[in-house]
Structure 1
């Protein structure tokens, strides 16, 4: 049975270093509203958003009848000098999940998105000239594997890579490159439907292409109209988010009915995490979470 979760990013709790951080909704409200809108699980959110004491974290999640599925860990993988720090960050998060009893949760590894000006400014319209060199790809892939191996060796926790706009692995071609350079038994793929569409691809094609490499799934929709409006004013990644590039499920161009049909046909029985990224203080998260859950119910999930 496919189970549906949501994540703190849908309430504006993001990993980016933003001035709007002060407008974040507290974790108690986020967990309450995830439960109240019909979801069964959550991801951890940025380090420190939820309790970092294992017993407290377990108590907060368990008393709402939820499960913890994973934690987002951003690392500047193109910079070899950041790899050791990335290992430390991933192990810290893995230890928290392991000691809290969530041994099947994932490390959701990603680039340090939003930190490279050119990539952030051109999200959704990346060209090959903005990408990594052959040598940089080797560094990037080895860093991802180093982190995944460390987490697996110490805690037995698996790592998935989350492709993401405003990072170095955004386009279908860049995802292909990273997947070709890494061990499929060590590093899985977290397929995010909205980011894949924003990056210029068809998520259904990716779902079929990567198949067994996909260990974790994010449901996010993509509005080409919002992306176009942002591009017309030369807006960056954050401008696109403000314009609603990640809209409510069913209101963008991601073909969720066919995606769900494919997941069911292949016997997928794990979690789907709904995400509708917003900036802190933006929108009405609970109403959107409810609308997204109702939409998936209408599609049989």
Structure 2
């Protein structure tokens, strides 16, 4: 049976080093509101956002009747010198989740998004000239596999790759290259509906294409009007976030009805994590979380 979770990023707790970091909502309030709005699980958020002591982490999550499903680990995979550090970071997170009793949670691996100005400025409108060359792809894919293998060997925890706007794996073509270059038994795909749409693709087609690689799913909607407004002024990734490019579910152009039908036909019985990425201090996350949960109920989940 599919279960529905949410994540700290829906409350503006993002992995980026932002000027508005001080406006982040604390983890206790986020967990309370995830539970109060009808969700059954959460992701960890950036390292250090939630407790890094396994016993305390378990207590905080379980006392609210929630499960921990995964943790986002960004690594600058194009830089071979960063691979060792990436392995160490992933192992650190995997150790925490394992010792807290969450052995079925995923490492959600991603590029070090928003660290390359060209990709950040042009998020949602990436051209082939902004991509990686053959050697860079080899380094990137090798690094992702090394991290996934290390985590699995150490703790038995699986790794999924999260394609992400403002990173080097954003467009459908880029996702396809990474999937071709990596072992399907070692590295799965975290399909994020909103990022896939913002990156120029159709999430419904992606579900059909990568059904054997999809181990983890993020429900995020995409507002093409907000994206166009940002594009018109040359806005970067964060400008698009500020304009609400990732809107409430059902208010964008992602065909969630078809998505759910395909997931059912696939026999997908894992978690769906709602993510409505916002900047710290934006809007009313609890109200949005409740609205998103109510929308998902209309889909039969």
Q: What's the counterpart of residue 88 of structure 1? A: 88
Shift of the alpha carbon at 1:144? 0.1
Q: Distance in 2 between matches of 1:299 and 1:90?
A: 34
Structure 2 counterpart of 1:150? 150
1:41 is matched with 41
- Structure 1's consecutive aligned runs of 4 or more residues displaced over 3 angstroms after TM superposition are none
Match of 1:126 in 2: 126
Aligned residue runs from structure 1 range 77-226, under 5 A: 77-226=77-226
Partner of 1:260: 260
Aligned match of 2:247: 247
Cα drift, residue 265 of structure 1: 1.5
Taking the aligned partners of 1:216 and 1:163, their CA distance within structure 2 comes to 12
In 1, Cα distance between equivalents of 2:200 and 2:281 = 28
Following superposition, the deviation at residue 108 of structure 1 comes to: 0.1
- Identify the range of structure 1 (127-136 vs 259-268) with the bigger mean alpha-carbon deviation: 259-268
For residues 27 and 72 of structure 1, what CA distance do their matches in structure 2 show?
15
Residue by residue over 1:213-257, the C-alpha shift from the partner in whole angstroms, topping out at 9 and shown as x without a partner, is 000000000000000000000000000000000000000000000
* Alignment partner, residue 273 of structure 2: 273
Distance 1:101 1:179 in 2: 30
Q: CA deviation at 1:140?
A: 0.2
Q: Distance in 2 between matches of 1:53 and 1:268?
A: 32
CA distance in 2, matches of 1:291, 1:144: 35
Unaligned ranges ≥5, structure 2: none
Secondary structure of the structure 2 residue equivalent to 1:211 = coil
Distance 2:219 2:298 in 1: 15
* CA distance in structure 1 between the aligned counterparts of 2:261 and 2:270, rounded to whole angstroms: 14
Task: Show the counterpart of 1:290.
Answer: 290
TM-fit CA distance, 1:266: 1.6
CA-CA distance at 1:22 after TM superposition = 0.3
User: Per-residue displacement from partner, 1:276-296 (whole Å, max 9, x unpaired)?
Assistant: 000001111000000000000
Distance in 2 between residues matched to 1:266 and 1:174, nearest whole Å: 24
TM-score by length of 1: 1.00
264-273 or 167-176: bigger deviation: 264-273
Shift of the alpha carbon at 1:300?
0.6
CA distance in 2, matches of 1:266, 1:15: 31
Aligned equivalents of 2:178 and 2:243: distance in 1?
Answer: 30
Aligned to 1:236: 236
Task: For structure 1, list consecutive stretches of 5 or more residues without a partner in the other structure.
Answer: none
How far 1:298 sits from its partner (Å)?
A: 1.1
